């Protein structure tokens, strides 16, 4: 059974992501196999955690996964590792419900994993004691097994913090990380800057790993274990098909759930990745998937690649089954306007994208498929999420939509999922889980169109 820890905090922006990165990379440097996970709907942190650990990072989410699905995914991806690290979101007890049930604490209890609290020590000394005592008393079933003090000012500050914790609590201090410019990642509107955009990301991770290895007791942390008896994870069967799906994956597009990509492969689909910044045409494929990302940060290069823009437009107009999410939707619109400048995009969606300074849609959504939805066996209610700082303008009034928005924003507060040709493009990010096997639906749609074409 691998060592297991759940990294959480008293509140967001405590530095737990950087600490998580450092721990993943530091344990990897010890030649250990590290399994990483992220709670909630997040693409950016998992990109960093995957790079730091050297293995794919998986999301665990109460909103669209059952408890059994969470347990099975965690067990399946951690069982062959030496240590499993889950990074929480927000604070330990923060969630959608005031009564709890969907917080980090609940996830830690469900998986029976010891929690390490990352405490932002900036401006606090003795006050850390009642803070930790309160967190312990709030839910005695949560195993707070250790504390990592973060943003510590110096030796004197560290000494005061440790004395207070040791005097008033029984929680061991397993690390004290000093303030350092080397521990700061540039932030972007969705959170941390995606690792796939930064050529210096590995150098940053290596630097953080050295600091964490020096200031955190890795040997102590490696003794923390999941006490829950493992369940037998389901065996993933692979169905053989002759389908190929082209997937955009580069500095502009990189937001994909790893278990969605796994689901495609379990269906026997061959995934071929291509670079929208460099490729001049799509690879030979039966379907196209363009996920989310930050295309606005690569507008000049994307727009200058006329050959690929024209090739994608032609393929979609000729009936290539295509699915696009958020950044992918923006890329397929006529143009993207950002900071006063407009750049031509694919133009197969009759709408213009405008970048905004504030979030338009941010958080969990609920969708109901409309009668226009082209895929079969679509769930009556879809639980997913959206994060976009853009909106569509000058939308063709004849536009057809795949979804009615029950919660969230989507394209116009009422609809999401623009339909044209065999394209479905949405602001919503879907997750292929028990209540919504969208990967199977899309693959079946591709099969239908291929049979009809042949």
pLDDT beyond 70 at 163: yes
Nearest by Cα to 319 from 244, 421, 400, 402: 421
C-alpha to C-alpha distance for 275 and 226, rounded to whole angstroms: 40
- For 39, residues 6+ apart whose C-beta sits below 8 A from its C-beta are 59, 60, 61, 86, 87, 88, 89, 104, 107
Helix residue ranges per DSSP H, 216-280: 218-221, 258-266
Nearest by Cα to 384 from 409, 401, 413, 359: 409
pLDDT given at position 193: 58
Beta bridge partners, 418, equal: 401, 425
pLDDT band at 189 (very low <50, low <70, confident <90, very high): very low
pLDDT beyond 80 at 230: no
Q: How far is CA 330 from CA 133, 139, 268, 327, 413, in A?
A: 48, 44, 29, 5, 17
pLDDT band at 197 (very low <50, low <70, confident <90, very high): low
Beta bridge partners, 267, equal: none
The mean pLDDT of 253-259, rounded to a whole number, is 96
Q: How far is CA 302 from CA 62, 246, 344, 447, in A?
A: 36, 17, 9, 30
Within 10 angstroms of residue 228's Cβ, the number of other Cβ atoms is 16
Burial class (CB in 10 A: 0-12, 13-18, 19+), 396: exposed
The model's pLDDT over 292-335, given as tens digits with 9 standing for 90+, comes to 999 999 999 999 999 999 999 999 999 999 999 999 999 999 99
What tokens appear for 445 in the block?
A: 């749609």
pLDDT band at 194 (very low <50, low <70, confident <90, very high): low
pLDDT given at position 229: 47
Across all residues in the chain, what is the average pLDDT? 93
Q: Annotated catalytic, 326?
A: yes
Percent of the chain whose predicted confidence (pLDDT) is above 70: 93
pLDDT given at position 188: 53
Pairing outcome for strands 390-393 and 352-355? antiparallel
Domain with CATH 3.40.50.880 in the chain: 244-453
Q: Write down the catalytic residue from 24, 57, 285, 326.
A: 326
pLDDT given at position 338: 97
pLDDT beyond 70 at 419: yes
The model's pLDDT over 98-151, given as tens digits with 9 standing for 90+, comes to 888 999 999 999 999 999 999 999 999 999 999 999 999 999 999 999 999 999
The mean pLDDT of 271-284, rounded to a whole number, is 98
CA angle 41, 47, 52 (to 5 degrees): 130
Find the distance separating the first CA and the last CA of the chain, reported in whole Å: 50
Domain spanning 3-221, CATH class: alpha beta
pLDDT given at position 190: 43
- For 265, residues 6+ apart whose C-beta sits below 8 A from its C-beta are 238, 271
pLDDT given at position 203: 87
pLDDT beyond 50 at 440: yes
Q: CA 17, 257, 261, 71 torsion: positive or negative?
A: positive
Structure letter (DSSP) for residue 181: G
C-alpha to C-alpha distance for 92 and 114, rounded to whole angstroms: 12
Domain with CATH 3.40.50.300 in the chain: 3-221
Assigned fold of 244-453: Rossmann fold (3.40.50)
The model's pLDDT over 4-17, given as tens digits with 9 standing for 90+, comes to 999 999 998 889 99
Q: How far is CA 401 from CA 332, 365, 406, 416, in A?
A: 15, 16, 14, 6
Per-residue DSSP letters for 351-402? Answer: SEEEE-SS-SEEEEEEEEE-TT--SSS--SSEEEEEEESEEEES--TT-EEE
The model's pLDDT over 360-413, given as tens digits with 9 standing for 90+, comes to 999 999 999 999 999 999 999 999 999 999 999 999 999 999 999 999 999 999
pLDDT given at position 149: 97
């Amino acid at each position: 059974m691998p060592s297991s820890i759940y990294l959480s905090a008293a509140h967001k922006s405590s530095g737990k992501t950087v600490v998580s990165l450092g721990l993943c990379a530091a344990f990897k440097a010890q030649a250990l196999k590290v399994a990483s996970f992220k709670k909630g709907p997040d693409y950016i942190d998992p990109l960093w955690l995957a790079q730091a650990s050297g293995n794919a990072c998986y999301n665990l989410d109460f909103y669209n996964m059952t408890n059994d699905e969470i347990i099975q995914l965690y067990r399946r991806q951690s069982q062959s590792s030496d240590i499993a690290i889950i990074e929480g979101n927000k604070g330990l007890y923060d969630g959608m419900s005031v009564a709890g049930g969907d917080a980090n604490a609940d996830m830690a209890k469900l998986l029976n994993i010891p929690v390490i609290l990352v405490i932002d020590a900036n401006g606090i000394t003795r006050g850390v004691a009642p803070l930790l005592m309160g967190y312990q008393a709030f839910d005695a079933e949560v195993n707070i097994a250790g504390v990592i003090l973060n943003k510590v000012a110096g030796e004197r500050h560290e000494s005061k913090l440790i004395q207070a914790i040791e005097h008033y609590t029984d929680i061991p201090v397993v690390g004290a990380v000093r303030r350092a410019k080397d521990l700061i990642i540039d932030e972007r509107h969705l959170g941390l800057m995606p690792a796939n955009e930064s050529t210096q990301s590995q150098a940053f991770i290596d630097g953080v790993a050295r600091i964490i290895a020096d200031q955190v007791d890795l040997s102590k942390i490696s003794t923390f274990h999941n006490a829950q008896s493992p369940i037998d994870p389901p065996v993933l069967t692979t169905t053989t098909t002759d389908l190929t799906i082209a997937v955009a994956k580069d500095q502009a597009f990189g937001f994909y759930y790893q278990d969605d990509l796994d689901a495609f492969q379990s269906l026997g689909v061959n995934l071929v990745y291509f670079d929208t910044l460099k490729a001049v045409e799509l690879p030979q494929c039966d379907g196209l998937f363009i996920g989310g990302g930050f295309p606005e940060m690569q507008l000049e290069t994307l727009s200058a690649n006329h050959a690929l823009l024209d090739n994608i437009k032609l393929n979609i107009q000729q009936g290539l089954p295509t699915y696009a999410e958020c950044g992918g939707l923006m890329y397929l619109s006529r143009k993207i306007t950002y900071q006063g400048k407009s750049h031509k995009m694919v133009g197969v969606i009759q709408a213009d994208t405008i970048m905004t300074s504030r979030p338009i849609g941010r958080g969990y959504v609920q969708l109901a498929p409309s009668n226009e939805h082209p895929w079969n066996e679509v769930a009556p209610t879809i639980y997913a999420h959206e994060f976009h700082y853009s909106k569509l303008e000058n939308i063709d009034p004849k536009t057809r939509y795949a979804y009615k928005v029950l919660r969230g924003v989507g394209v116009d507060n009422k609809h999401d999922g623009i339909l044209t040709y065999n394209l479905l493009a949405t602001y919503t990010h879907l997750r292929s889980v028990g209540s919504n096997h969208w990967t199977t639906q899309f693959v079946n749609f591709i099969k239908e169109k291929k049979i009809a074409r042949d």
